[in-house]
Amino acid sequence: MRLNKRSTPLAVAATAIALIGSTIAPAQAGVEPEVVAGGLVTPLSVAVAGDGDIYVSQNFAGLLTRVPSGGGDPVVVFAHPDGAEVGAVSATADGAVFATTGGTRRRPNAHLWSLAEGAEGPTKLANLYRYEKRVNPDAGNTYGLVARRGCLKQVPPFVRPYQGIIEAHPYATARGEGVTYVADAAGNSVLAVPDGGGTRTIGILPPTRVEITRAIKREFGLPKCVIGKTYRAEGVPTDVETGPDGALYVTSLPGAPGEGLPTGRIYRFDPEDGSRTVYGRGLVSPTGLAMTPDGTAYVAQLFAGSIVQIPVDGATTEFAQVPFVGDVEVADGSLYATDTDLGSDGSGPPAGKVLRWTLAP
């Protein structure tokens, strides 16, 4: 296993919390959130439709769930027959778009789907693994340790430099006019899938430079020669949103060893020419992004257990603390978030939740 995004959230959670726990400031005083839905299994993605229905993924259970706008129990609207991961949810005019990721190591797959409300089943929009295999957008990126040959000979193979590999994991989607944008966390790319078919690359996330400290050296069992050296971690896009200016805003949760460090960023992409700028930095494990009409951003920081608020021209502040918060969504003056329950040892019943706060006007 390489020192990159294939480290799972559960594998690095304890280390990440230990690294950042002392840096978290108290949440802003405010009303406790309303629990909109509970008893969910790893709800990593949430979206709110125009009619108020909430779509939430239960990723590791292979389920897509709808919470009726008028209240009531969550209803499973899609269950993957093979139990593959279901996630990357966004709302459409009459339903939802989502992605599935699964298969075997020899025959992986990743697909994008559309599900209209009341339909018997979803419609496939794109085979994203096939696109990744054919194009491999980040093939030109170099990841891994930056060091002299003598040091590289001492380190395990998973630390040595490598080019972007063929791997797809659609982690988030956003709806545009006649198009779905996809944040492919494994492909380190942002894709566009028009409703009429076809897939193209909007942009590629660059490697994130992480300094190897003594703590990182000990954690991964590396030789002394790596201390002070740079590791180019994969960018790993975890969410994509269309901002009020029409640009795409993408969160980056760099792969290990950057997962528990304040190395996360928000990139702004022009959807027409793919030009990229840094919109925000210093984030810890950002996995969800939501934007208000005035451009205020809310970011879910999974391992920090917090939601931060980033005004257009202001300082970043903490909005609320939610253990293992997975995703955020803004709709009709409310902020929605998922409590993923990733800290559970699995001995009790599922305890994932969808939470809601009313935002100040």
Q: In order of start, what are the domains of the chain with their CATH numbers?
A: 9-358 (2.120.10.30)
Q: Give me the phi and psi of 196, to 5 degrees please.
A: -80, 0
Count other Cβ atoms within 10 Å, centred on residue 215.
13
What pLDDT tens digit does each residue of the chain (361 aa) get? 344 434 433 333 333 333 333 333 444 445 689 999 999 999 999 999 999 999 999 999 999 999 999 777 899 999 999 999 999 999 998 999 999 999 988 899 999 999 998 898 999 999 999 999 999 999 999 999 999 999 999 999 999 999 999 999 999 999 999 999 999 999 999 999 999 989 999 999 999 999 999 999 999 999 999 999 999 999 999 999 999 999 999 999 999 888 889 999 999 999 999 999 999 999 999 999 999 999 999 999 999 999 999 998 888 999 999 999 999 999 999 999 999 999 888 888 999 999 999 998 7
pTM score = 0.92
Cα separation, 308 vs 193, in Å, equals 30
Q: Tokens at residue 331, please? A: 């709709």
Side-chain-side CA neighbours of residue 14 (13 Å): 4
Neighbour-count burial for 99-108, b at 16+ CB within 10 Å, e otherwise:
bbbbeeeeeb
